[in-house]
Amino acid sequence: MVLIGTGNVAQRLFSCWRHSDTVDVVQVVGRNRKRLSSFEKDTSVASLQGISDDADIYLLAVSDDAIGEVSKQIPAVDKLVVHTSGAVGIQALENHPRRGVFYPLQTFSSSRPHDLRGVPVCIEADHVDDLRILEQLGKSLSDNIAVIPSEKREVLHLSAVFVNNFTNHLCHLGQLLLEKEQLPPGLLLPLLTETVEKLREMSAYEAQTGPARRGDTATQEQHLFLLKNDQMRQVYKLLSASIKKTYVEEL
Amino acid sequence: MVLIGTGNVAQRLFSCWRHSDTVDVVQVVGRNRKRLSSFEKDTSVASLQGISDDADIYLLAVSDDAIGEVSKQIPAVDKLVVHTSGAVGIQALENHPRRGVFYPLQTFSSSRPHDLRGVPVCIEADHVDDLRILEQLGKSLSDNIAVIPSEKREVLHLSAVFVNNFTNHLCHLGQLLLEKEQLPPGLLLPLLTETVEKLREMSAYEAQTGPARRGDTATQEQHLFLLKNDQMRQVYKLLSASIKKTYVEEL
């Protein structure tokens, strides 16, 4: 395999495959020389101009808007070319007859080194033989492989924005509030852990609690009185209204 | 101790104290006869009219708006009277010279039976001796006791709404999206778990990723195109704008 990209996703995948018996990353390709050099002790590295033409799989772990352009520069015509994006369709790899998608549904930070065994790897390919190859590749990382076509993967990626990006931002707003009162941000961690644990046993619909769920307008008014930041007031109002609407028939 | 209330909080606290060597719940008091009967095999039960007058602590686990009224009906004048609410000040127990707050910062559902060892128990009292009593009471449940005055506890409770109630609702919206595509809701759980795990190592400010964080307007437009539900579009727009504003100097 040739791995194209040197960002968080490429780094994490490479660290999983570096000691693999079944996957051999023969080359890492990137523009960023400094990042590229961190792969150098474990495999050969090259710029896009020096990309190998005899690997069996070309895996693109580049930014969404670079996928189309970079894929055009892959010299191989009969090899499997795959991108790792949740938001981009398989069509972005337009000039490749054997194309696919290999999307690990996770948030990647370079500082978090643990493995990907539980992470869903969403795969797609135009040909069934290529789908089998991607399934095997997925199994080298995870026990959780799902075949998901581009239209559904797009929605999955969108839902991940709600579940990961937006929830994280709400945690930031919560931590800001604590900071202003000189309360330690760790106070909220057990609550956050339980919020997630509950979702292993019941749907988020069933798990909902709080003043908006109960229709407790007195507490909501008190909260809005405490919130001096206009942005946070807007978030509070809109999410409370959205919760209310979700359960409107039950209140 | 007399425990007043029969809801989720009362049930959870009672189940922790039922086998305790240090805490003896001599009576559970409530209006709801059916719920009250579930305590009957382990302790004596009564209505508010039959409340015992010789316990050392009266712990109110009743709804926020009932605290004032119920506390007036507690006959003891020189006993410690405590409520368990995050949102209500200690002042709500106005007629009691020895008053306090005992607020376990957690979301309670009757179906989740695990213990409270890691849960912060936020305590407050007018007298230092009573604070020591509440500290001992807290230690019977948890290793994490924090003395927090009413003004700060109010803000803590508000931040818990962001971190628990609002994040849960976003998970619901994410699950709704999957449901429409007939994708299993469990696909998002590993991502959600990692979202929380990251927050043990870094602040939510540092952990933020996603299109709004990167200033990736193409993906945001595509997401808005996919979102047919007006309520969800509004949530998407407002939270993306709030993230953008948070990092405005870095984009």
ipTM, interface predicted TM-score of the complex: 0.91
Instruction: Select, from the ranges A1-5, B211-215, B216-220, the one with the highest average predicted confidence (pLDDT).
Output: A1-5
- Count the Cβ atoms, other than its own, within 10 Å of residue B187: 21
* Cα A200 to chain centroid, rounded: 20
Residue B249 pLDDT > 70: no
Determine the pLDDT at residue A94.
87
* Cα B76 to chain centroid, rounded: 28
Q: Which residue of A has its CA nearest to B218?
A: A65
Residue B113 pLDDT > 70: no
- For residue B158, give the nearest of A120, A162, A226 by CB distance: A226
Average pLDDT in chain B: 93
> Can you say whether the dihedral through the CA atoms of A212, A218, A221, A223 is positive or negative?
negative
**Residue A46 backbone dihedrals phi, psi, to 5 degrees:** -160, 165
Mean pLDDT of B179-207: 93
In angstroms, the CA B99 to CA B92 distance is: 10
Average pLDDT in chain A: 93
- For residue B163, give the nearest of A158, A188, A234 by CB distance: A188
Band (A113; pLDDT cuts 50, 70, 90) = low
- Residue B178 to residue A156, Cβ atoms within 8 A: yes
What is the spatial order of strands in the sheet that B99-104 belongs to? Answer: B44-46, B27-29, B2-4, B57-60, B80-83, B99-104, B121-125, B145-147
Cα distances (Å, whole numbers) of residue A178 to A172, A173, B89, B107, B241:
10, 9, 17, 18, 22
Determine the pLDDT at residue A249.
64
Determine the pLDDT at residue B138.
97
Residue A196 pLDDT > 60: yes
- Residue B190 to residue A144, Cβ atoms within 8 A: yes
How far does B142 lie from chain A, in Å, by closest CA?
Answer: 12
Mean pLDDT of A6-33: 93
Mean pLDDT of B58-79: 92
Mean pLDDT of A30-41: 93
Determine the pLDDT at residue B54.
87
In angstroms, the CA B181 to CA A151 distance is: 9
DSSP string, B72-92: HT---SSSEEEE--SSS-GGG
Determine the pLDDT at residue B92.
95
In angstroms, the CA A129 to CA A135 distance is: 10
Band (A232; pLDDT cuts 50, 70, 90) = very high
Q: Where is average pLDDT lowest: A69-83, A108-122, B79-93, B94-108?
A: A108-122
Determine the pLDDT at residue B110.
66
Band (B57; pLDDT cuts 50, 70, 90) = very high
Band (A159; pLDDT cuts 50, 70, 90) = very high
Torsion of CA A7, B223, B162, A234, to 10 degrees: 130
Short-list B110, B101, B86, B83, CA closest to B15: B110
- Residue A201 to residue B231, Cβ atoms within 8 A: no
Mean pLDDT of A99-112: 86
- Residue A174 to residue B160, Cβ atoms within 8 A: yes
- For residue A218, give the nearest of B65, B166, B199 by CB distance: B65
- Residue A235 to residue B242, Cβ atoms within 8 A: yes
Band (B56; pLDDT cuts 50, 70, 90) = very high
How far does A161 lie from chain B, in Å, by closest CA?
Answer: 7
Residue-wise pLDDT for B130-150, tens only, equals 999 999 999 999 999 999 999
- For residue A163, give the nearest of B156, B191, B199 by CB distance: B191
Partners of residue A158 in chain B, C-beta under 8 Å = 177, 223, 226-227
Determine the pLDDT at residue B170.
98
- Residue B46, class by beta-carbon neighbours within 10 Å (0-12 exposed, 13-18 middle, 19+ buried)? middle
